[in-house]
Amino acid sequence: MKQNKKTVPVELSYYGLYLLDYLRKYHPDKASDTGFIAGREEAATATFEKERLAGGTVEDAHEEAMRVLLEGLHFSPYALLTEVVEREFADEVAEQEREPFCRRLYPHLNNLFAGYDTSDDTFALSPAHDLLYTELVGTVMLYLESYGVQ
């Protein structure tokens, strides 16, 4: 697989490109992990082929491949951070500053997110999600008080 200067795969299949786009939007910390992307891409492609060879329809094979591709990625801590900033801090963080602010703050939240098992695809529906949201609001508030938006 060829690599460009940013270590992002140049030649990706549909599944690889889909995953890369998804990661850039929802899991930016994983978007440069070429091994992760390649592994998921290969697994999704193999799943699609296996399902088709077993007689499954194209739609069913694609659905199963997408399940494999996105397993454990449905909840996005980064998306939750952007949601908190948009909902709770709209007055403090101007709209044009929100994305750069979240990208700067996100790497500093590893310890907070590590306290929750967010790998479960139903995490967003759990009581722990509400607790994480509340903790995230407090953390963003403290960060803004100490460092401001910049």
Which pTM does this prediction carry?
Answer: 0.77
Query: 3-state DSSP: the chain helix, strand, coil percent, rounded to 5?
Result: 70, 0, 30
Q: Residue 123: which domain range?
A: 77-147
- Distance, in Å, from the CA atom of 21 to the CA atom of 2, rounded to the nearest integer, reads 18
Domain of 18, CATH number, reads 1.10.8
Q: Which two tokens stand for residue 95?
A: 């709209």
For 1, other C-beta atoms within 10 Å of its C-beta total: 11
Tens digits of per-residue pLDDT, 73-126?
888 999 999 999 999 999 999 999 999 999 999 999 999 999 998 877 788 888
Instruction: Indicate the residue type of 63.
Output: E
100 plus 66 within the same structural domain: no
In a domain, 94, yes or no: yes
Domain of 100, CATH number, reads 1.10.8.340
141 plus 81 within the same structural domain: yes
